């Protein structure tokens, strides 16, 4: 078996999940997921985070291939979500003298999830733990992704074990380190991961980035996705941009349609945007597209134009589902347009206006509502909406 080393005595012992369809039973995993864990083999042996419980056997084998029967002294629990804590009980069973290292928010979760309350060591912001040649320092990064989340820094090697921060969807397919990978594969999956899993906590992410600014980091080892050792700025600059809601001048057009009238309006708006020089235009049918794709692209592009037909006096259900998710994520700093159609009574646009009121984005043009198929005056309004959006995006 290959042994993957981050440094002379720090090993990668993670696993790839190519079985699970939905992460957190919600987010599609078309490219799978890596659960990264690390072993520091020093005078005292420390394990950093574990893996999802479906991979315990493979995981214990990975560890044993390095330790060959020796024990582990410390388990560092950076994050308690079960994709990383799922093997804690198995680790405690196999290494009964292990000390579990976490902060004051870690241990109530450990008790609640796994009924484990013994052999714990509580550390706090800036605490140090010596393993012999390696010293661990702990920094709290609450809400990136849960309240107890922290990172662990090895000062002698300048390696940061960053928990979910800087993670990605997607398995590690042979390559583990950034310089071993074609990063095109991870670019969209990193953003889909950040926007959907951590995106609600952008201000917390900004605070975490500011805190880590003063730490001299040579390598970033997250709990998902590539290990960054060559081009740290690739991931750092993206996290700074995404967490500050900085976007590019493109447009996401989302629509819900039953018989194509609302879709026609979407196509009309898109064509005019293109005529005005907007090149990044994404059109999504709400009934076919998972919300994670829409939310990912909201973190890419500043323009969002949403259309809905009426459905029993309400918005179309698949549009409503996605808009509820967007409201819940609290995404900021977008330009908005709304449109829709109806047959005998409204409902789509009426409820899109409520979304506009709640989300408080900048509505660039009047709501457009057509009765039946798209006709002359509403066609002109669709063109006007696209023109206003293009004017605002292109400055
Ligand atoms: Fe990868 Fe929040 O767990």
∠148-292-55 over CA atoms, to 5°? Answer: 55
The candidate with the shortest Cα–Cα distance to 37, out of 57, 16, 21, is: 16
How many domains does one find in the chain? 2
Residue 19 Cα to chain centre, angstroms: 20
Which residue's CA is the nearest one to ligand 1's atom 3?
81
**Residues in contact with ligand 1 (CB, 6 Å cut-off):** 79, 81, 83-84, 145, 164, 223-224
Give residue 349's pLDDT: 98
Instruction: Count CB atoms within 10 A of the CB of residue 391.
Output: 11
Q: Which of 216, 243, 270 is a domain's end point?
A: 243
Residue 271 alpha carbon to ligand 1 centre in Å? 40
What is the number of other CB atoms lying within 10 angstroms of the CB of residue 18? 12
Give 194 Cα–ligand 1 centroid separation in angstroms. Answer: 11
Q: Which is nearest to 305 in space by CA: 275, 267, 342?
A: 267
Q: What pLDDT score was predicted for residue 2?
A: 87
- Among 184, 217, 243, residue at a domain's last position: 243
pLDDT confidence of residue 262: 98
Alpha carbons within 13 angstroms on the beta-carbon side of residue 57 total: 1
> Closest Cα to atom 1, ligand 1: which residue?
164
192 CA distance to ligand 1 centroid (A)?
14
d(CA 48, CA 335): 42
CA of 163 to the centre of ligand 1 (A): 7
pLDDT in tens, the chain (395 residues): 789 999 999 999 999 999 999 999 999 999 999 999 999 999 999 999 999 999 999 999 999 999 999 999 999 999 999 999 999 999 999 999 999 999 999 999 999 999 999 999 999 999 999 999 999 999 999 999 999 999 999 999 999 999 999 999 999 999 999 999 999 999 999 999 999 999 999 999 999 999 999 999 999 999 999 999 999 999 999 999 999 999 999 999 999 999 999 999 999 999 999 999 999 999 999 999 999 999 999 999 999 999 999 999 999 999 999 999 999 999 999 999 999 999 999 999 999 999 999 999 999 999 999 999 999 999 999 999 999 999 999 99
pTM of the model: 0.95
User: Could you tell me if 237 and 255 lie in one domain?
Assistant: no
Record the tokens describing residue 255, joined without a space: 């629509």
Report the pLDDT value the prediction gives residue 1, as an integer from 0 to 100.
75
Which residues are bridge partners to 279 per DSSP?
A: none
Domain match, 226 and 257 both: no
Q: Which atom of ligand 1 is nearest to the CA of 164?
A: 1
CATH number at residue 365: 3.40.50.360
Contacts of 267 by beta carbon, 8 Å cutoff, 6+ apart: 283
Residue 231 shares a structural domain with residue 312: no
Tell whether 388 and 252 lie within a shared domain.
yes
Question: What residues pair up with 74 in beta bridges, in sequence order?
Answer: 46, 99
Boundary residue ending a domain (243, 262, 278): 243
Residues 352 and 253 in one domain: yes
Query: Which two three-digit tokens encode residue 373?
Result: 């198929």
Ligand 1 atom closest to the CA of 146, numbered from 1: 2
Q: 39: domain range?
A: 4-243
Contact (Cβ atoms closer than 8 angstroms) between residue 345 and residue 312: no
Looking at residue 24, what DSSP letter applies?
Answer: T
Q: What pLDDT is recorded for position 152?
A: 98
C-alpha to C-alpha distance for 323 and 317, rounded to whole angstroms: 10
Q: What are phi and psi of 45, to 5 degrees?
A: -95, 130
CATH number reported for the structural domain that contains residue 117 in this entry: 3.60.15.10
Phi/psi of residue 268, nearest 5 degrees: -65, -45
Do 103 and 179 share a domain, yes or no?
A: yes
DSSP 47: E
């Amino acid at each position: 078996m290959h042994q993957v080393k981050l440094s002379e005595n720090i090993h990668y012992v993670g696993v790839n999940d190519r079985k699970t369809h939905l992460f957190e039973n919600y987010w599609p995993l078309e490219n799978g997921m890596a659960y990264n864990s690390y072993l520091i083999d020093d005078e005292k042996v420390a394990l950093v985070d574990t893996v999802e419980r479906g991979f315990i056997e493979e995981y214990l084998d990975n560890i044993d291939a390095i330790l060959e029967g020796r024990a582990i002294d410390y388990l560092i629990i950076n994050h308690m979500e079960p994709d990383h804590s799922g093997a804690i009980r198995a680790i405690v069973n196999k290494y009964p003298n292990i000390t579990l290292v976490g902060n004051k928010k870690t241990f109530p979760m450990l008790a609640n999830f796994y009924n484990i309350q013994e052999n714990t060591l509580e550390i706090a912001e800036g605490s140090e733990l010596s393993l012999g040649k390696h010293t661990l320092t702990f920094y709290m990064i609450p809400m990136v992704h849960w309240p107890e989340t922290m990172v662990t820094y090895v000062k002698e090697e300048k390696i940061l074990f960053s928990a979910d921060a800087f993670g990605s969807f997607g398995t590690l397919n042979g390559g583990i380190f950034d310089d071993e990978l074609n990063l095109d594969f991870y670019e969209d999956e990193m953003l889909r991961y950040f926007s959907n899993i951590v995106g609600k906590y952008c201000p917390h992410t900004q605070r975490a980035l500011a805190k880590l600014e003063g730490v001299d980091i040579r390598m970033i080892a997250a709990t998902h996705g590539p290990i960054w050792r060559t081009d740290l700025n690739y991931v750092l600059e993206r996290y700074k941009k995404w967490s500050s809601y900085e976007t590019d001048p493109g447009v996401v057009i989302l629509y819900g349609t039953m018989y194509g009238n609302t879709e026609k309006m979407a196509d009309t708006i898109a064509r005019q945007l293109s005529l005005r020089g907007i090149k990044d235009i994404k059109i999504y049918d709400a009934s076919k597209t998972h919300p994670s794709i829409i939310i990912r692209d909201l973190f890419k592009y500043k323009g969002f134009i949403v259309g809905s037909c009426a459905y029993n006096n309400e918005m179309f259900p698949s549009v409503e589902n996605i808009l509820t998710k967007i409201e819940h994520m609290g995404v900021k700093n977008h330009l908005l347009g709304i449109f829709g159609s109806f047959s005998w009574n409204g409902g789509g646009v009426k409820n899109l206006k409520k979304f506009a009121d709640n989300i408080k984005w900048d509505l660039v043009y009047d709501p457009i509502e057509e009765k039946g198929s798209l006709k002359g005056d509403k066609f002109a309004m669709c063109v006007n909406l696209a023109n206003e959006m293009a004017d605002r995006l292109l400055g």
